[in-house]
């Protein structure tokens, strides 16, 4: 049974002065059984958010990492620098692909650096609007994933069992538009098919896949109704404790249903 995960990506929002209280408010408002929660603040707020979350089971994640372990890279942050501050890290977000021109090969190397220090990678993939309209959405996403994992393997690493993937259609990020639940489920199935080229089919089936792209409390239900989707990467709504509370509450319904289904299957097989 895959876990249900809700991850907050604060992007370039909050300061160290307000990040701690916001993180604590979200943690207190989202204490729902069966949900893995992660908050990814800006680098400058990682320590204060970690301190604010002491005593909760909310994990802290970074929004990016450099592809090299160390060196003359002014302004960059290595995986070793993040070790001890975070347990998760986002890589390959569409905004970094767009603004920093990150390639799939570079993103694969970032995953390698995270594996080396024991940080869990959250890999983002997704297509542009013109790619979807041209019927290339699935092939685009599968190509992104395959190239990133090939780069990871070339670094001498197997695909980690704790990999999480977020499908974020680029045309839905920050636009108020969302893909449909069936669209996301189709993509999740395609992602797992590609994963099975690098790991066993059973291991690929166990990889959690999240939906990201203008996720709100009003839209989350459509995605969590799909068995192939295991949670959400939340952007703007993650800065609002009430929105996060509603999103996690809905995720709790899915988590509870999965436990009941697993229990029923176990009883039938006994």
Give catalytic residues, as residue numbers.
Answer: 93, 168
How far apart CA 138 and CA 127 sit, in angstroms, is 8
Instruction: Name the residue among 84, 1, 66, 69 with its Cα closest to residue 36.
Output: 1
- Dihedral sign computed on CA atoms, order 229, 79, 94, 40: positive
Contact status, residue 39 vs residue 5, Cβ threshold 8 Å: no
Q: Where are the beta strands (DSSP E) in 120-238?
A: 120-125, 164-167, 209-212, 231-234
DSSP state of 178: -
Instruction: Name the residue among 151, 149, 93, 145 with its Cα closest to residue 124.
Output: 93
Contact status, residue 61 vs residue 30, Cβ threshold 8 Å: no
């Amino acid at each position: 049974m895959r876990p249900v995960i809700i991850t907050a990506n604060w992007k370039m929002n909050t300061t160290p002065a307000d990040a701690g209280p916001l993180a604590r408010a979200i943690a207190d408002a989202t204490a729902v059984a069966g949900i893995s929660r992660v908050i990814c603040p800006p680098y400058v707020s990682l320590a204060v958010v970690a301190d604010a979350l002491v005593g909760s089971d909310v994990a802290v994640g970074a929004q990016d990492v450099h592809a090299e372990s160390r060196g003359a890279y002014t302004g960059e942050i290595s995986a070793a620098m993040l070790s001890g501050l975070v347990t998760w890290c986002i890589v390959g977000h569409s905004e970094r692909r767009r603004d920093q021109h990150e390639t799939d090969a570079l993103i694969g190397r970032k995953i390698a650096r995270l594996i080396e220090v024991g940080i869990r990678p959250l890999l983002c993939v997704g297509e542009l609007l013109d790619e979807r309209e041209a019927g290339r959405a699935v092939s685009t996403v599968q190509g992104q994933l395959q190239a990133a994992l090939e780069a990871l393997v070339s670094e001498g690493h197997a695909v980690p069992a704790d990999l999480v993937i977020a499908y974020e259609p680029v045309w839905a990020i920050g636009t108020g538009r969302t893909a449909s639940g069936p669209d996301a489920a189709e993509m999740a199935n395609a992602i797992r098919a590609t994963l099975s080229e690098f790991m066993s089919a059973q291991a690929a089936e166990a990889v959690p896949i999240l939906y990201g792209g203008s996720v709100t409390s009003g839209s989350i239900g459509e995605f969590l109704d799909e068995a192939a989707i295991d949670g959400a990467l939340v952007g703007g709504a993650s800065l609002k404790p009430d929105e996060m509370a509603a999103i996690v509450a809905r995720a709790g319904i899915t988590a509870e249903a999965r436990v009941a289904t697993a229990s029923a299957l176990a009883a039938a097989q006994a």
